[in-house]
Chain A
């Protein structure tokens, strides 16, 4: 077991090696330079969308946004009457400090975004509202009680906040060497720096106080200042951007550098306060474009400043069990929580997509796993469900988000703002699902938000891309053709049109569209990559390589171009050169299954059989259903490496994969599973039923059940015979389904209260009595069963599933057809499903 020392986690939002490296070179960040020599470091790949509250929650939970529930910057208050900055209490899963809490460890958490209201953990929490509002007059600068836990630290920590008006001219001189030439009263850039600096000082004061005076096993500090300095002043950072006046450049060019240097100084202090054997992790959630890739103009849309963010942030770690001076490759935000748990000797959850950064440690200790921390009971220090706020004013928090350009100006109709914010959060949720490769789940969300705002180019963009990914070329083309003429002329829509031509096989029109677009933006890497991709699909690898190389010239870290160039070289049998590009690509972004496959192929071409098998095994881990990889491996194990047992194992896997999936309708009893079975039957799918349970008053159209399902725990042999057919299996039995078989599951959802009343009525009670004697405990049990089944399915690579709400069937919601299409494919007459719906049978609705 690793030595369980303290861990200090420091977050610098938007910190980027591209800014840091030149500063370290000239001796301006000595603390970080020393830090790197004492530990490991590398790029950290961000997640989509690149929005900080979602990302920092992913860092602290090991979960993506669609799992952790933080979907944006703002959310409606519980009463739905106004907006508020995203609350930490909206997080649906445990953060690492909650897991540590239930394992008897103490945490101090300062400023984490979002963490308001402070959670009642065993330790201290200073919420992300702590430093806000420092531009109000000091007498009006109140602090919400809920920003500090425990309450007895409130007065002291409140007094340690640093007000904007306390920032002195001497503090500003490093940022503005020509301070005397600026109008101190009116200069908004200057005032911006004062505010950011005071916020950083407040967070640092609270952190240094807690490090010195409160016991802790885990200390997490989050600074947003580098992100804010960068949004404010990266446009003034050297090299001077074309079009920027000489005067402005001279006035403001030192802001970003000084911001970084100040962080280096704060780091020095935090390291001095940490004990010698503390493991320290420093990271950012994303990078920030600081060179010629800085966007000249931002699009007019919410969260537009995120376009300035770069895909890779910084990661550095040092400590007694950590290697020294080494570079780590392939670090992801989702690896942080598993690695933290490992440092405390705790198992990581299988429901966490990331892994422990084993390669960072001197000795590779065994990684322990559990299914999920979510189901492990204990005192976690989370808020109790139903925590309501105390009517506070959200003005300051919202104002800051507005000033940063992350939300629209909050003037006018409140209701419209709430609607827009909810749509924005849904859009973010869809982006998170797309990023996780869950296109089918993202599709209905994207279709809905597009139907609500048909002119938002970004909705069109994502929806068209999702259609393309799912192979719905016709839908993508129809959508673009239906746009109004003016919109169709915009470069982004023309780009999408090119993509649709390309996937539809009309390569010449696609090339014409892209090359025409290059006249407007000759160095636009996305266009260059598309052109390269077309030549690649035409097997013109020499030509394709040239276009990919043009991208790499513009952006040497572009993973698509690096991988693409490697692929072309692979097909040209230039294996060593291919390896250079491919390794470079996964060095930037590790989780690229196809690139690992190409590496395996390149190594095979170089006759490095063993290394090739290793790379292919890794690719198979990421793409467990990829028959091509399995074929390659079978060949290697049979013909080159002489491991017949592995070849046999893989052949068996291949057989299983090539079999048709079993289709399953699941959910809690009385959640609408029988209705869905009837609907699928009407659509022409073959149903597995023995008709032993006949129709009755509760299910006048029949149950569509199969007796053998009830004994699934003991007997699974019948499952294979259900391939290509539909079978009904209640939610608690789902985990009994045998592996080695693919499943497509329609999971029915219905409000638990209705399910319970329906069940009670079925057992002979009348509806009024069922409502009066409502069995609350049973409701909890059912909710638990449903949650467990969903959680289990999320972590099974061999299961695809969709969730359908019973109400939507009764209401005849046609988008259900799209979801069924996304799960089962387009070959079925889905409109026939509605013949099964008889609304008169919907008797146990509560209203």
Chain B
């Protein structure tokens, strides 16, 4: 399941690629990365992510650093 292949359809046009990505849902994430920039661009539109704030980001980095030192 994790290793779905998108390459069976060699010349995917934008709409069919978009439909395929929608139908695969998040489970197809690694296959989307492997397909390259076109799938990633569509995936970013279809499944937008909530980015952490700068403060949250810094806190997480600090926690990881502490965990490493431990």
Contacts and interface: CB of A to CB of B under 8 A. Distances in A.
B51 A170 contact: no
Most buried by A among B26, B33, B51, B64: B33
B5 A170 contact: no
Interface string B1-29: 01101110010000000000000001111
Contacts of A191: 64
Given A188-B68, A269-B34, A170 B40 contact: no
A818 interface: no
A269 B7 contact: yes
B63 interface: yes
A162 B40 CA distance: 9
A205 B35 CA distance: 8
Interface string B46-65: 01010110100110110110
Nearest to A30: B5
Interface string A162-188: 100110111101100000000101111
Nearest to B30: A171
Given A168-B49, A171-B29, A272 B63 contact: no
Contacts of A173: 2
A268 B34 contact: yes
B51 A165 contact: yes
Interface of B: 2-3, 5-7, 10, 26-31, 33-38, 40-41, 44, 47, 49, 51-52, 54, 57-58, 60-61, 63-64, 66-68
A185 B63 contact: yes
Contact of B64 (A160, A166, A188, A269): A188
Nearest to B9: A272
Interface of A: 28, 135, 137-140, 160, 162, 165-166, 168-171, 173-174, 183, 185-188, 191, 197, 201, 204-209, 212, 258, 261-262, 265-266, 268-269, 272-273
30 contacts: A28-B3, A138-B51, A160-B37, A160-B41, A165-B52, A165-B57, A168-B26, A168-B29, A168-B49, A169-B26, A170-B28, A171-B30, A171-B33, A185-B60, A186-B67, A187-B64, A197-B33, A201-B33, A204-B34, A204-B37, A205-B36, A209-B37, A212-B38, A265-B5, A265-B30, A268-B5, A269-B6, A269-B7, A269-B36, A272-B7
A171 B5 CA distance: 14
Contacts of A162: 33, 40
Contact of B37 (A171, A186, A205, A258): A205
Contacts of B33: 162, 171, 197, 201, 204, 262
B3 A174 contact: yes
Contacts of B26: 168-170
A208 B47 CA distance: 21
B63 A186 contact: yes
B52 to A, nearest CB: 7
A201 B40 contact: yes
A170 B3 CA distance: 11
A464 B9 CA distance: 60
Contacts of B28: 170
B55 to A, nearest CB: 10
A612 B48 CA distance: 68
A205 B54 contact: no
B35 A269 contact: yes
A785 to B, nearest CB: 50
Most buried by B among A160, A162, A188, A269: A269
A135 B60 CA distance: 11
A165 B2 contact: no
Contacts of A258: 2
